[in-house]
Structure 1
Amino acid sequence: MASEITYAEVKFKNASPTAAVEVPPETKKHERHPQKYPQWLPWLISLLLLLVCIALVITLLVAPSSHRRDQPTALQQNFMEWQCVLAVPQDKDQGWTCCPKGWRHFQKSCYYVSDGMMSWVESVQNCTGMGSHLVVINSKAEQVFLSEELRQSPGDNYYIGLSAEKVGQWHWVDQTALNVTAAFWRKDEPSNKDDQKCVVIHRTSERPNNWNDVKCGRHHRICEAAAVTV
């Protein structure tokens, strides 16, 4: 402020009397008292801009994921009636686990055990059309659960999602290879014959080792889908 006053004094000292008279009062007043913004104003503007940027980033990151959670799954689009069970207490974000009415629930999956029979190709299409797939068995616990569920079922053979394009090269319907540590073949199975490239659970065989490779004809099926959490 002192430097500005000194500058003004020098300027008017060197100016002619006529020039000093001709200067409008408003101009003099403006020059003697220049308008100043508060020193904190630029900091406030910077802070507001920073907050706006943070809000935009949060919106871009959070909103799409929330939108995806709100989208119904293919399974939800196919069924109107659901049965729900309370999830484990540790899972605080999701309180209920739901499956379509008539499906069996285990861990994070829902299972459909068919009454009718279809070929392998028809079975794959049928499960897909319901928003699911032929069951992929990943653990002994899952295998034991399914074997127990089939005890009261009417059929003998139930397709699972395991097949071979070439003899002995077994793959699940999700394109993962068979894990030999989680394989549950019957004794002396698989036969590995060229005309037996589909796999079923044989209901009456000793549990849990009850898989059998068979011809891809008409059998019952087990479909699987991820359970819906709400």
Structure 2
Amino acid sequence: MALEITYAEVRFKTESKSSGTNSLSPNAHKEKTTSRKRNPGFPKLLFTSSLMLLLLLAISLLVAFIIFFQKYSQVLQEKKTLLEISQKHPELECIKASSTTEGKAWSCCPKDWKSFSFHCYFFSTDSKSWNKSAESCRSMKANLLVINTKEEQDFIIQHLKIRPLYYVGLSDPEGQRHWQWIDHTPYNESATFWLQGEPSDNTERCVVLASHHNYKHNRHQWGWNDIFCDISQLSVCEMMKIYL
């Protein structure tokens, strides 16, 4: 009797183990199959990566197009400006350009103009009002002189005659001592060259280069002086150098 009970217990345990193994195997297989079928992560990741690559490619193409368009527009503008200048100034005087001028072999100024740094200067021989002088400069694709540094001021006065006055591109349109350069260059108080006691009158709204005799040092001193804009004076025109 004892042997039969022991056998029954062993048999029961064996069946239970076998039954447990058989019942778990289909479920595990089903879960794996379902997991594979329901996992959308890989397709989504692939789609997102492809979309990002296309977006980066589109941005790169757009940036390249903008750069190309800007370069092309710059070349067209340079050609247009050169054509307009050549029509006004058929004769140019050129020197070898410095190595810092990228892609350009020559720097040129119109004939009878003076060259300094990156600019060309024309000293008029006929007198006009400030407005007429500005118009005359513009007709030559230039502006009335804008002085930015002492070096530029010193270069200019070397070519001026002592007695006349020369209009520059500085004015006070409203008579409020708000000085403005004709090309909208900011007026820099630290780079001004007024003669002693100038500017002296709010109704004198235009500026000339003038020579004042310094009796103490027995020499002529050049500086800025405000005068009435309708007085006829000589003038100095300025334009950027032409690079070829």
- Give me the TM-score of the superposition, normalised by structure 2: 0.64
Offset, 1:75: 3.0
For 1:178 and 1:208, locate their aligned partners in 2 and report how far apart those are by CA, in whole Å. 22
Question: Deviation digits for residues 30-62 of structure 1, max 9, x if unmatched?
Answer: xxxxxxxxxxxxxxxxxxxx9xx79x9486454
Residue of structure 1 in register with 2:139 after alignment: 129
Match of 2:125 among 104, 115, 118: 115
**Gaps (5+ residues) in structure 1?**
1-49
Residue of structure 2 in register with 1:161 after alignment: 169
Match of 2:223 among 203, 210, 229: 210
Q: 1:167 to 1:62 in 2, by over 3 A?
A: closer
For 1:110 and 1:70, locate their aligned partners in 2 and report how far apart those are by CA, in whole Å. 19
Identical pairs, percent: 31
The farther-off stretch of 218-227 and 82-91 is 82-91
For 1:178 and 1:207, locate their aligned partners in 2 and report how far apart those are by CA, in whole Å. 26
Residue of structure 2 in register with 1:104 after alignment: 114
Residue of structure 1 in register with 2:104 after alignment: 94
Output the aligned Cα RMSD.
2.5
Structure with greater helix share of residues: 2
Report the count of equivalent residues: 175
Residue of structure 2 in register with 1:141 after alignment: 151
Contact 1:117 1:220 in 2 (8 A): yes
For 1:142 and 1:227, locate their aligned partners in 2 and report how far apart those are by CA, in whole Å. 15
**Gaps (5+ residues) in structure 2?**
1-57, 214-218
Q: 1:60 to 1:131 in 2, by over 3 A?
A: closer
Question: Deviation digits for residues 62-110 of structure 1, max 9, x if unmatched?
Answer: 4333323322344333110111111223334212111110011111111
Q: 1:59 to 1:98 in 2, by over 3 A?
A: same
Match of 1:181 among 190, 197, 200: 190
Q: Which structure would you say has the larger Rg? A: 2
Is 1:67 paired with 2:76? Answer: yes
For 2:104 and 2:163, locate their aligned partners in 1 and report how far apart those are by CA, in whole Å. 36
Offset, 1:167: 3.4
3-state SS of 2:93 partner? strand
Contact 1:84 1:99 in 2 (8 A): yes
